[in-house]
Amino acid sequence: MTERAAFGDWMKSVQAAIEEAMASFLPRETDTPARLHEAMRYASMDGGKRVRPLLVFAAGELFDAKHDALARAAAAVEMIHAYSLVHDDMPCMDDDALRRGKPTVHVKFDEATALLVGDALQSQAFLVLADGDGDVVRKLAMVRLLASASGSVGMCGGQAIDLASIGVTLSLEELEQMHRLKTGALLRASVLLGALSGKTPSDLETAALDKYAEAIGLAFQVVDDVLDATADSATLGKTAGKDAADNKPTYVSILGLEESRLLAEKLRSDAHLAVAQFGNKAQRLRELADLIVQRKA
């Protein structure tokens, strides 16, 4: 019970830190163009569980990273995530009107603004990451890592495969490859950005973090699919049952509900095992793996 309470407190403190970091790293709403800046904040403030920032901070603990460096890296990766949600929700993609229980950006503002919000949030992410103090060689490595995880062989590439897969029968391997790019790449980047915010990890340590990231990345998606099939829109804060309605392949449609739940549990064990070498210092990473698998929304 003590451990649990401690994790909850830690989570809240990171969430507060990322909220503060986002507020300070985003252009002010009063600066021109004010409406764009207002929409950028609408899209990225006060949002979600902040899983990626939590991963940044948790991985940073392994390498004694300083708070300011972690807050900067976490804000950058969260801006990329926020931009991807804004663009995903647009009519030409998922056409979703609800996100985190609020109207999506193109509904609240307009489509052109949503397009620009996403574009500008991406630029801002790289600006934030390249700015500030810290070792320049590692900073440049972080820019490359985030750019690669965001682009055509990362998140955007996963989206493209996802689009092409509607109504198509995917094998489990193809589904995994799609998610490895679509959500896995940015989750992996979060873990490695956290590590790079401290000392440079060794190859062995990077390999361990990669294994951890791979496991939680897939777990994240399996659980998403389970929730999409079982929870309601109010709980999720977004439209439930969309995948089935859109005829999209999911873990549930391929493996069934029970098998998907078992897979999520197995991936949780894999994640724990991957970071065993870090001992106590990896406690937050283990707790985050638990959170990802046991979440209800």
Whether omega for the bond prior to residue 33 falls within 30 degrees of 0, making it cis, is yes
For Cα atoms 153, 25, 117, give the angle at the middle one, nearest 5 degrees: 55
In the block, tokens 């003590």 appear at 2
Residue closer to a second copy, measured from CB, 83 or 220: 83
Q: Supply the minimum distance, in Å, between the C-beta of residue 92 and a second copy.
A: 4
Residue closer to a second copy, measured from CB, 155 or 218: 155
Element (H, E) at 103: strand 102-103
Separation CA 254–CA 248 (nearest Å): 11
Q: Which residues pair with 73 in a beta bridge?
A: none
Separation CA 57–CA 55 (nearest Å): 5
Separation CA 123–CA 127 (nearest Å): 6
Separation CA 13–CA 54 (nearest Å): 10
Residues between 100 and 119 that touch a second copy (CB under 8 A): 110-116, 118-119
For 262, the token pair is: 């078992």
**Contact indicator for 231, 297 with CB cutoff of 8 Å:** yes
Residue closer to a second copy, measured from CB, 115 or 227: 115
Q: Supply the minimum distance, in Å, between the C-beta of residue 35 and a second copy.
A: 7
Residue closer to a second copy, measured from CB, 157 or 274: 157
Residue closer to a second copy, measured from CB, 99 or 268: 99
The length of the chain is 297
Residues between 118 and 177 that touch a second copy (CB under 8 A): 118-120, 122-124, 126-127, 130-131, 136-137, 139-140, 143-144, 146-148, 150-154, 156-157, 159-161, 163-164, 177
Q: Supply the minimum distance, in Å, between the C-beta of residue 85 and a second copy.
A: 12
Q: Supply the minimum distance, in Å, between the C-beta of residue 130 and a second copy.
A: 4
The answer to whether residue 67 forms part of the interface with a second copy (CB under 8 A) is no
For 291, the token pair is: 């959170």
Q: Supply the minimum distance, in Å, between the C-beta of residue 185 and a second copy.
A: 11
x-or-dash pattern for a second copy, window 25-54, by CB under 8 A?
Answer: --x---xxx-xxx--x--------------
The answer to whether residue 188 forms part of the interface with a second copy (CB under 8 A) is no
- SS3 state of residue 99: strand
Q: Supply the minimum distance, in Å, between the C-beta of residue 245 and a second copy.
A: 17
In terms of DSSP bridges, do strands 98-99 and 102-103 run parallel, antiparallel, or are they unpaired? antiparallel
Count of CA atoms in the C-beta half-sphere (13 A) of 140: 2
Among 92, 172, 262, 276, binds a second copy (CB under 8 A): 92
Compute the chain's Rg from CA coordinates: 18
Q: Supply the minimum distance, in Å, between the C-beta of residue 213 and a second copy.
A: 19
Residue closer to a second copy, measured from CB, 146 or 288: 146
Q: Which residues pair with 103 in a beta bridge?
A: 98
For binding to a second copy (CB under 8 A), which residues are involved?
A: 27, 31-33, 35-37, 40, 83-84, 87, 90, 92-93, 110-116, 118-120, 122-124, 126-127, 130-131, 136-137, 139-140, 143-144, 146-148, 150-154, 156-157, 159-161, 163-164, 177
